[in-house]
Structure 1
Amino acid sequence: MADKIDGRAVAAQIEDETAAKVEAFAARNGQAPGLAVVLVGNDPASEVYVAHKIKKSAKVGIRSYEHRLPAETSQDDLLTLITRLNIDPNVHGILVQVPLPAHIEEGAVLGAINPAKDVDGFCPVNVGRLSTGTGGLVPCTPLGVMKLLDTVIDDLTGLDAVVIGKSNIVGKPIAMLLLEREATVTVTHIETKNLPDICRKADIIIAAAGAPRLVKGYWVKEGAVIIDVGITRIKGESGKDKLVGDVAFDEVQHAKAVTPVPGGVGPMTIACLLANTVQAAEALEKK
């Protein structure tokens, strides 16, 4: 039986550590770190996610500045807001919720965020720093994945890791973080041939394809560690909606450890966002 990696417990520990850092920062500076959250339009999933981020921010003592803009907001107006937040000394982290409306160029918006305040780690400067191992703020979900791996593997040196999915938000950053830790990394995608054979050789599988139950039991060797980043809502046998990951969870119990969905990677993303906000605040404080 595979060990279940409890993302909720690890996230709670990170939140406790972050709350202590927030308290210390506030004692030194007279106020807590500030996180600006920008939401354009009313995408239902984004609404829920932003509300959750604000609630968690309050829990650890981070001040939230919420900017809700109508869907018809122009790109220029959004960029003007970001420019204002970039120079606001009360704002230490800036998060622009994606997806953005179709008429707004996501790359232009993310690229306009001050890298020192880019707590999502998506701007080109932070992506470049990650790829060259020169610091910067790391994307939250990949950072959370690495923290979960650290709970079950002491040393990644020389281990074979397979990343399923090559997105800019998850797959590519995770690959770079694994390489930084001296793992041997294979990045796979929709055009990859013989994916089951590739996975069967892996000590670590990071599933981030957004394809429900893609990874079958026979893809996984005995003793592998699996981090399931995927989350998809499907109809269960009872007709009710249920959340499933990219891994056929019940089939991979011969693995050493696996994250459940929900309760695995999901809680880590927001916990790492809060940690990034404090990291950004402390770096700006030193300047």
Structure 2
Amino acid sequence: MREPIVLDGSRVAAEIKANLAGRVERLKELGIVPCLATILVGGDPASATYVKMKANACRRLGIESVRVELPETTTTEELLEAIGRLNEDPAVHGILLQHPVPGPIDERAAFDAIAIGKDVDGVTMLGFALNTFGAAAYPSCTPAAILTILDHYGIGIEGRHAVVVGRSPILGKPVSAMLLNRNATVTICHSKTTDLAEMVALGDIVVAAVGKPRFIQGEWIKPGAVVLDAGYNPGNVGDVDYEAACRNASAITPVPAGVGPVTISMLLKHTVEAAERAAGLR
């Protein structure tokens, strides 16, 4: 049995960041330091870790990282005010609101308060609409990472049947639109889908974005299918039963070191592009 191609996200991310390094230096020569502002509301340890990871990635590339920390008791109005200040700050090129926010906050209102020119994480409804029409400057980072991996490895999208398991507004839905815009035939599955195994088995490309460890079973995978696992669960496992899926897949992303590193590199890329637009270079 032939082993599948391992779609190495760490390698893809390293190449993206190597390309960005020269662009960051060019901006600095013009007196502009690309800047990403991250907003963390409350003390969720996992969220704090994610924000720290993104800040470290910025630092290594020479991007400034501004961290805004707000208490658990923050109201929607207070969060909107904080976002408004960052929108108005010309030194800030990108804004990331770490998800999830505490329950009482209107998260959708907070996301949509981010100026479209600084929505480098692709979370606003306007950004979603632009992405659906193939016109987004900054599509959601994980969907962008998935398509970048496919392109990097020369995996064709046009004419293939893509099955997406998950329908979140920042992953399942936007990646479905992006695949459709690249002329794939797209089936979107979710928790209410009947005969899920049969649906997944139709996929030439399978995107797992359901948020449940090892949920997608190996025997569901069509022989020769390409599997992109966007899940990350406790124990460093994805949404796909990796070992079992390897028996059928022709190519597969590992967890970790698959989609995750490329997602962060997309965030950095979008921030640099936003700074280039501010400098009149795009």
Shorter-chain TM range is over 0.9
Tell me the residue number matched to 2:6.
4
Tell me the residue number matched to 2:185.
184
Deviation larger for 73-82 or 4-13:
73-82
Tell me the residue number matched to 1:124.
125
**What's the secondary structure of 1:103's corresponding residue?**
coil
**What's the secondary structure of 2:236's corresponding residue?**
strand
Distance 1:193 1:151 in 2: 34
- The reply to whether residue 139 of structure 1 matches residue 140 of structure 2 is yes
Percent identity of paired positions between Structure 1 and Structure 2: 43
Tell me the residue number matched to 1:219.
220
Which residue among 16, 25, 28 is the counterpart of 1:23? 25
Deviation of 1:14 (Å) = 1.1
- The reply to whether residue 278 of structure 1 matches residue 272 of structure 2 is yes
Distance 2:228 2:265 in 1: 17
Aligned residue pairs total 278
Which residue among 241, 250, 267 is the counterpart of 2:243? 250
Tell me the residue number matched to 1:265.
259
Matched to 1:58, the amino acid is: R
- The reply to whether residue 70 of structure 1 matches residue 76 of structure 2 is no
Deviation of 1:214 (Å) = 1.7
Distance 1:140 1:226 in 2: 18
Deviation larger for 108-117 or 148-157:
148-157
- The reply to whether residue 111 of structure 1 matches residue 105 of structure 2 is no
Q: Deviations over 1:51-74 (max 9, x none)?
A: 111111011111111111111122
Deviation of 1:31 (Å) = 2.6
Tell me the residue number matched to 1:236.
none
Q: Deviations over 1:24-47 (max 9, x none)?
A: 11112x131111111111110011
Distance 2:70 2:245 in 1: 44
Distance 1:157 1:226 in 2: 16
Whether the 8 Å contact between 2:32 and 2:279 is mirrored in structure 1 is no
Q: Deviations over 1:90-149 (max 9, x none)?
A: 000011111111121001111111000011110111111011122331111111111111
**What's the secondary structure of 1:9's corresponding residue?**
helix
Distance 1:105 1:164 in 2: 26
Distance 2:230 2:194 in 1: 21
Distance 1:133 1:265 in 2: 21
Distance 2:69 2:82 in 1: 11
Tell me the residue number matched to 2:92.
91
Whether the 8 Å contact between 1:7 and 1:263 is mirrored in structure 2 is yes
Whether the 8 Å contact between 1:2 and 1:252 is mirrored in structure 2 is no
The RMSD of aligned alpha carbons is 1.3
Long gaps (5+) in structure 2: none
- The reply to whether residue 44 of structure 1 matches residue 45 of structure 2 is yes
Distance 2:118 2:207 in 1: 28
Deviation larger for 147-156 or 118-127:
147-156
Distance 1:215 1:108 in 2: 33
Distance 2:155 2:221 in 1: 21
Whether the 8 Å contact between 1:8 and 1:267 is mirrored in structure 2 is yes
Whether the 8 Å contact between 1:208 and 1:230 is mirrored in structure 2 is yes
Long gaps (5+) in structure 1: 234-241
Q: Deviations over 1:163-206 (max 9, x none)?
A: 00111111001001101111110000111111111222211000
Deviation of 1:154 (Å) = 4.1
Deviation larger for 192-201 or 138-147:
192-201
Matched to 2:15, the amino acid is: Q
Q: Deviations over 1:65-92 (max 9, x none)?
A: 1111111122222211211111111000
Distance 1:129 1:90 in 2: 25
Whether the 8 Å contact between 1:116 and 1:284 is mirrored in structure 2 is no
